[in-house]
Amino acid sequence: MNTTALQAPQAAAAPDFIAIKQRQQATWASGDYAVVGTTLQIVGEQLAEAADVRAGERVLDVAAGNGNATLAAARRHAEVTSTDYVATLLERGSARAAAEGLKVRFLTADVEELPFADASFDVVLSTFGVMFAPQHERSAAQMLRVVRPGGRIGLANWTPAGFIGRLFKVIGTHVPPPAGVRSPALWGSEEHLRKLFGDAAEVRAVPRIFNFRYRSADHFIEVFRDYYGPTHKAFAALPEAGRAALLRDVHALLDELNTAGPASLVVPGEYLEVVVTKR
């Protein structure tokens, strides 16, 4: 008798989230994200307005990067705590806050394991940050836990069909993501967000556009290859022929989406502006 045929199929191994996050930390610490991050400041300002950040409120910025939402909240005289699991990014945010004379508390922390008591904050913010944490449900639960009832969670997330979502797909055809890890761009889907936050909150989501403005497609690729962690690491991981193929595919995407003509580069990048109100 052939017993092999009777054996139950083995379940796929669960992702090693510790190893995945270690690689993510190395990715975001590579290059110099602040070079790209500072160009996105307008998104932090708009998100602070959408979340109705008020003077004196306790605000937490999670996966804060170099502090766009942090600075926006501090400019509105909120009591801000800025967190990220990459300490070097917080150092850049701290330098920006100091340059403007803004009082902000900076703390290295993982959004999936926030070191704060329940209901510690009035508002939680994240611009293109929490969406990259690998355990979606855990991140959503942590943000809900630390915000008070009636408090708001404001998020800016790239959409799957927008420019950055498509850019990640292009990169993924050349450097596949870790097995079992869901796409960060799911955070740009209202349906996914409603599943994450469930009946514990009310979700309001509005599509927005951020325009990437560079001198040319070559200029964009140069900046993102040198400074933006995921792109920097993707090019570094490939042999010469692979780098050339990735370069061609990214260039083709930019040429397709450029609205400025041959003299410049303007690429509309769709994102979802989200305000989650805890019940």
Per-residue burial over 48-59, b if 16 or more Cβ lie within 10 Å, else e, is: bebbebeeebbb
Question: What would the pLDDT profile of 224-236 be if each residue is shown by its tens digit?
Answer: 999 999 999 999 9
Question: What would the pLDDT profile of 74-117 be if each residue is shown by its tens digit?
Answer: 999 999 999 999 999 999 999 999 999 999 999 999 999 999 99
Q: Which residue has the higher pLDDT, 7 or 189?
A: 189
Predicted local distance difference test score (pLDDT) of residue 184? 96
Predicted local distance difference test score (pLDDT) of residue 12? 58
- Indicate the pTM of the whole model: 0.92
Q: Which domains does the chain have, with CATH numbers?
A: 22-213+268-278 (3.40.50.150)
Residues 6+ apart with CB under 8 A from 138: 112
What are residue 112's phi and psi, to 5 degrees?
-80, -10
